[in-house]
Amino acid sequence: METILTALIALALLGYLAVAMLRPERF
C-alpha cells in the first residue's frame, strides 16, 4: 500500500512539474 501511495505522489509531482514547465505563465 505504501509503495502505491509513494508512486501516486511521485506521479503527481512529475505531472505538476511538467505543467509548470509547459505553462510558465501559470507560475
What does the pLDDT read at residue 15? 95
What does the pLDDT read at residue 18? 92
Segment 5-8 long-range contacts (CB within 8 Å, at least 24 positions apart): none
C-alpha cell at position 19: 505543467
What does the pLDDT read at residue 27? 55
What does the pLDDT read at residue 23? 84
User: pTM of this prediction?
Assistant: 0.61
Encode pLDDT of 1-27 as tens digits.
789 999 999 999 999 999 988 887 755
Count of structural domains, the chain: 1
Cβ count within 10 A of residue 12: 10
C-alpha cell at position 20: 509548470
Q: Residue 7 belongs to what domain range?
A: 1-27
**Rounded to an integer, what distance in angstroms lies between the CA atom of residue 2 and that of residue 8?**
10
- Residues 6+ positions from 19 with CB-CB distance below 8 Å: 26
